[in-house]
Copies of this chain bind each other. A is one copy, B any other.
């Protein structure tokens, strides 16, 4: 039996000196120093330096000089101590004095460099994803993802959760996001749908008595893709029976603490803070507030009224944030912030500022309307000190909160108000059960139609649906929604009432969710759960914004995999077998 290698390229140390070894890997780079040729041999474990000495073996050195980037080679040699050590890498004290090597496969010159920072553009790297995946940063990401998966399973399995696979070929339930569908050949005219989440199945598993379920599972949504959305994505999907909100929150706070401990050696000693949805919107303008820094909202409408400043007088809300130590912001900087806020994505009308000068005076963009005394009241309300900058937006409350949320996040980023490796989790609780579509007047489920109202709010179902709070909760970390869940309805009558409130006819409810309503009549236990966005969680723990580089083979923004050319045309035979005609 041949053996390709005795060690990997991250493994050899000073202790291995004089050992005979075999290594395999890719040629990262070659350096020719007169009589010596050095080659960095790379694999996912690290880099080991190969040395070829012309005086020892002229032919071998000549052969080595012909090796190019990304060729795959198999090497035999002896571990030697390096004369000039590189203490930045684990193998930096040794090198291999090569005695023999074989080219296992040659490589064309890659279309971009396989380095930490590459010269390849996005599109090129997607077309050659198999080469991009060779780069160390991507390898680190996928290894991190692997570890988080392993640790998640270890933790949940250790507290009696069972991983149970739910089906991928299910029934289409077209409310909410669009389903991807799969035509059935055996039952022509019928379609399966790919699951947007295993929601109803995990609820059935609770009815079946499985008690503590989880699954790391692919989900599918046929949405128009925004940046950093994927048509297929992965969830850590969980459900428990005989629990209340508090049980679910504490159980999964435990999971998140475990993951941060195991992966990043971060200890969260205290319980994660909690905030109600209403408070989160009020204080941060977001249901996933980034609480690593302050700059909370101040509502100063009452302080601004009656000074003939029409914009504020007409506004439903006037919201101010205090930027510490930013009174020296230049006019240019404030103008550029204003332009940024006016872009259609944000849609603010303008930005008012008040500089709290070091000498105790104020300089504002509304000096014409508000005197120093006025501005000092604002400053005092916002707890602004000399040297701080107050930024003010106004208008309709909901829009202004959203705009101010964007501004607050941008400034925090610009001023580096947080460290890269700092994590601030917060549970957002007491979400509204329903959202009113302002155009149609219809109600939509804020989480999904299976979410339980708070018992004390059930009375509002027929009178004031918008007032009902749900037993629903989200976990946000650093302003990123990492997970969300709820206690579910487990009573057929209540579920039917909620369906009615959401505009389902009795027939629609029965045809789409009859199996679940039916199951509720056979001893359904109280239950609830949560789902975490696995791609997002990995990106967060990897300190990156984009999820794409935590997915081995992602789709681009048009939902395409340009490397394999998917989606693509079917041949006629396939369409005939399915009985499908595609409209021109």
Contacts and interface: CB of A to CB of B under 8 A. Distances in A.
Contacts of A420: none
A194 B182 CA distance: 9
Contacts of A207: 130
Interface stretch (A58-66, A100-108, A317-325, A405-413): A100-108
Given A5-B242, A191-B568, 13 more contacts: A4-B526, A26-B523, A130-B519, A139-B210, A145-B164, A153-B153, A170-B566, A174-B570, A180-B182, A186-B224, A186-B558, A515-B565, A581-B582
B185 A183 contact: no
Nearest to A163: B146
A582 B188 contact: yes
A5 to B, nearest CB: 6
Contacts of A3: 247
A165 B234 contact: yes
B105 A524 contact: yes
Interface of A is mostly: loop
A570 B558 CA distance: 24
A72 B527 CA distance: 12
Identical subunits present: 2
Contacts of A166: 552-553
Contact of A169 (B8, B107, B567): B567
27 contacts: A1-B244, A1-B246, A4-B244, A8-B211, A24-B241, A42-B209, A44-B209, A105-B491, A105-B523, A105-B526, A108-B521, A133-B205, A133-B208, A149-B163, A150-B163, A167-B552, A168-B194, A168-B232, A169-B220, A169-B231, A169-B566, A171-B564, A174-B570, A186-B559, A201-B553, A579-B582, A581-B583
Given A210-B133, A231-B169, A242-B4, A523 B71 contact: yes
A523 B104 CA distance: 8
B565 A522 contact: no
Contacts of A243: 4
A555 interface: yes
A560 interface: yes
B523 A142 contact: no
Given A169-B232, A185-B222, A218-B165, A583 B580 contact: yes
Contacts of A565: 171, 511, 514-515
B192 A105 contact: no
Interface of A: 1-5, 8, 24, 26, 42-45, 70-72, 74, 104-108, 110, 128-131, 133-134, 139, 142-143, 145-146, 149-150, 153, 157, 162-172, 174, 178-194, 200-201, 204-205, 207-211, 218, 220, 222, 224-225, 231-232, 234, 241-244, 246-247, 490-491, 511, 514-515, 519-526, 551-553, 555, 558-561, 563-571, 573-574, 577-583
A224 B187 CA distance: 11
Contacts of A570: 172, 174, 181, 191
A105 B525 contact: yes
Contacts of A104: 525-526
Contact of A552 (B2, B106, B139, B165): B165
B242 A568 contact: no
A553 B134 CA distance: 38
Nearest to A171: B566
Nearest to A210: B44
A580 B579 CA distance: 10
A232 B167 contact: yes
